[in-house]
Structure 1
Amino acid sequence: MTETFVKTADGVDIFYKDWGPKDAQPIVFHHGWPLSSDDWDAQMIYFVGKGYRVIAHDRRGHGRSAQVSDGHDMDHYSADVAALTEKLDLRNAIHVGHSTGGGEAAAYVARHGAGRVAKLVMVGAVPPIMLKTENNPGGLPMEVFDGFRSALAANRAQFYLDVPSGPFYGFNRPGAQVSEGAIRNWWRQGMMGSAKAHYEGIKAFSETDFTDDLKAIDVPTLVMHGDDDQIVPIDDSAKLAVKLLKNGTLKVYEGYSHGMLTVNADVLNADMLAFFKA
């Protein structure tokens, strides 16, 4: 197993993991905000065990990647992925993105993935656009994201406990099976990253309009979303995104949270495997 770095065009060191046979079909995982490649542990272990080559990176300013001052926007995020896929010369790759990473994966496939991508999976993903605008009346108002920024600036450590303890994994729902380990691991990943990158990343995940990216994607795309996602509400994300995709399929998970990749990994992994093999 190799753990190493790729240097981007603007000189940023991006950390990545690359496990499994180099001649196997690659799966590239794109993590959510404000986490790291470690958020894909349950998928990396599962799919490397199924014979795939699994690759996951820490977005710039996140995890073990360089805590640079600039470039915390979707243009840079997708270009950073392009630098990684070119270094590793990945072909026939499957890209899987969660939340903000779903936007990053869509942007990469649309803008840089020609000839390199076989399939795309978006899980609890932010596209087409989260922010409420004239063209997106069902979006979340700017006050929500300003609240994120205020909470992060005031006490990031507490904010990064509150999010996973409550809405992210649905642990605020009656009868929820709360995992203290999942909460602590979310906090650990978040606190590894740069406060500036995370602060500016809120704009990237909430205000980027992925409509043109989604329209440009022609590979088979699976859109997976929980109907109890309290972070990225399904009606203004997955249900709209699938209509813009040329070859998209929507799979809705009843009662599942935004963090279903972790707390429902067994179900999601099996469904992804079926899509990969189809």
Structure 2
Amino acid sequence: MGYVTTKDGVEIFYKDWGPKDAQPIVFHHGWPLSSDDWDAQMLFFLSKGYRVVAHDRRGHGRSEQVSEGHDMAHYAADASAVAEHLDLRNAVHIGHSTGGGEVAAYVARYGIPQGRVAKAVLVSAVPPIMISTDRYPDGVPLEVFDGFRATLAANRAQFFRDVAAGPFYGFNREGADVSVPVIDNWWRQGMMGSAKAHYEGIKAFSETDQTDDLKAITVPTLVLHGDDDQVVPYKHAALLQTEILPNATLKIYEGYPHGMLTTHAEVINPDLLAFVQA
């Protein structure tokens, strides 16, 4: 574990486990979490002999709680700072939710131009854009995200508890196998970060049009999504991603929630491994 300083002077925390000569698997976490959200995947790939790397986004987890730069362009640049610092090559970059947007931006703008990326994976990811626009009229109304901002500003601790206990893991569904420790861990990760980073991050993950990023990703890309994702609807994310990406493979999981990497790791992890090894 360590820190890297970005070009604009921000301290970014990262984990780097496993053999340094092994193929790197790089994980990009969702909003408002940290690299800890990838525990199940990092331990799994580590056990298979891979080098596993993950960082905390600026303002999240153990990274510096700076005032500025809470946008997709800075997220991608920060990810590149980690990749360049560790000289990661032939890497597979896997991103969940907002982290999927970060992967798309990093791979398109830095990873492919620098020759560092072998493959990419977008899991329950936000691209091309979440809000309704002229280009994508079936998106989510902006007022929904305005509501997120208002609720976060009023009581971030309660908002984070409600998200984790409800739609994120599908724990609000009838008959759901609710895990209080999973809820507590989500809340713990969220509350480690900066309220300002989280507040401004809502705009980053909902209003950034990443169509051009997706078009530029020529490496093989796996798109995974649950069809009961209440946070990022798959019809406005995964289906559009596979239409735009030049080299995409799509898999939709019946009944899986947004946080399926945690709730269904025993299914998702082998699928990720099969793609990496293909």
Q: TM-score, normalised by structure 2?
A: 0.99
SS of the residue aligned with 1:268? helix
Displacement of 1:134 after TM fit?
1.1
User: Corresponding residue for 1:226?
Assistant: 226
User: Corresponding residue for 1:118?
Assistant: 118
User: Corresponding residue for 1:82?
Assistant: 80
User: Corresponding residue for 1:39?
Assistant: 37
Aligned residues: 276
Deviation per residue, 1:48-89 (Å, 9 max, x gap): 000000000000000000000000000000000111100000
User: Corresponding residue for 1:206?
Assistant: 206
> For residues 82 and 172 of structure 1, what CA distance do their matches in structure 2 show?
37
- Unaligned segments of structure 2, at least 5 residues: none
Q: Does 1:142 align with 2:133?
A: no
**Structure 2 residue aligned with 1:70, among 64, 68, 71?**
68
SS of the residue aligned with 2:76? helix
Displacement of 1:109 after TM fit?
0.2
Q: Does 1:14 align with 2:21?
A: no
Displacement of 1:100 after TM fit?
0.1
Deviation per residue, 1:169-207 (Å, 9 max, x gap): 000001100010110000000000000000000000000
Task: Supply the RMSD in Å over aligned alpha carbons.
Answer: 0.4
Q: Map 1:1-278 onto structure 2 (within 5 A).
A: 3-114=1-112, 115-278=115-278
Q: What letter matches 2:160 in structure 1?
A: Y
- State the identity as a percent: 74
> For residues 89 and 167 of structure 2, what CA distance do their matches in structure 1 show?
37
> For residues 158 and 245 of structure 2, what CA distance do their matches in structure 1 show?
38
Q: What letter matches 2:75 in structure 1?
A: Y
SS of the residue aligned with 1:155? helix
Q: TM-score, normalised by structure 1?
A: 0.99
SS of the residue aligned with 1:94? strand
> For residues 129 and 250 of structure 1, what CA distance do their matches in structure 2 show?
18
> For residues 245 and 136 of structure 2, what CA distance do their matches in structure 1 show?
17
Q: What letter matches 1:80 in structure 2?
A: D
Task: List structure 1 segments (4+ residues) > 4 angstroms apart after TM superposition.
Answer: none
> For residues 50 and 180 of structure 1, what CA distance do their matches in structure 2 show?
29
Displacement of 1:239 after TM fit?
0.3
